Structure 1
């Protein structure tokens, strides 16, 4: 390269001293180890549900939209379900009784690590669709139904009612936009005992602190 006065200017080549080489190698090693941590943290934040969002993480349609014979009073119809086991997912949880509020919204289970059952609907093991619901995650990480979408046809779902374990076989796993929830398909009457396991899924809407979709697992008494 030539300067403005015609002189040739030579740039001195930058050389890494042994000390600089060691420092550079250390920085690259730290960055390589940190990359999976940052990636994992970003993935978790993308799936996070705000605990104080003020709404459930799934949707149960308003009572006026439910089939007339879908919501029944299960009280006094025998021992209620008390526990749920899903071997394929490693789920073993107590079951909380859930009811709808005045707006027709199903109350969320109080503990993120536990599921609940719709106590105003069908009792598991009785003819009709019994509804079980749970959170997908929380501020601290995965919740009880975090892997619900991974179930496959033929997987077993066990519900403890009284002293007996009732075995259900998964028949389908479906995803629905909350705005187009198929009320009749999920809550409509069935001639045999069935289960509906519900949680949220799809993309996370950060403005509403809620997921856009629902995951519904269909299972029938074996």
Structure 2
């Protein structure tokens, strides 16, 4: 149902996948106007102490949203061969994922977490994300056991045909977090037509 997409290296359109549908159908997609920018890679001076060179940002391993009862491990998500963003497999619908092409949660930039609303197996991890309110706490834990608290600043339901790529993935000096899932009514093929985006900023 989607046009062909390529990787960001070809500077072509990128489809942001957010979840699978509730019905027994194929995955749904959201159509981004352009690819997200590449993640900022940590740089280290060759003359810096070895201990500093070895210190890399710790990857996220868990997300918790107490106000809606969500606690999930995080799996890394990259790009598919066709340039679309990976999503957790349907059989792991209760597990959210971290898009590795974005920032590490807690670091400067936009970090993106993607989770299913529902899959063919039933209710999924971000099923109740629509209930989240402004000011809600989102906690991300990394592999070193360190936690970063994010405060929800707003939510937005958007058509997948007009996905706000720059707003979600674009460069920012904030320590920002975005949570994405499917939303809205179903089209004739049984695919949700919208995405729900939650915006949050580190405390």
Which TM bucket (shorter chain)?
Answer: 0.7 to 0.9
**2:146 maps to which of 164, 180, 183:** 164
**2:35 maps to which of 33, 43, 66:** 66
**1:212 maps to which of 193, 199, 202:** 193
Q: Which runs of 5+ in 1 are unaligned?
A: 1-46
Matched with 1:101 is 80
Whose Rg is larger?
Answer: 1
Normalization by structure 1: what TM-score?
0.70
Matches within 5 A, 1:44-59: 48-50=22-24, 53=26, 55=27, 57-59=28-30
Number of residue pairs the alignment of both structures matches: 168
Shift of 1:140: 3.4
Kindly indicate whether structure 1 or structure 2 has the higher relative contact order, using CA contacts under 8 Å at least 6 residues apart. 2
CA contact 1:59–1:105 (8 Å) conserved in 2:
no
Return the alpha-carbon distance in structure 2 between the equivalents of residues 123 and 49 of structure 1: 33
Normalization by structure 2: what TM-score?
0.76
- Cα separation, partners in 2 of 1:122 and 1:163, compared to 1, 3 Å: same
Matched with 2:68 is 89
Matched with 1:114 is 95
CA contact 2:180–2:198 (8 Å) conserved in 1:
yes
Q: Which runs of 5+ in 2 are unaligned?
A: 1-20, 43-54
Residues 48-67 of structure 1 show CA distances to partners (whole Å, capped at 9, x for unaligned) of 243x51x3x453737xx135
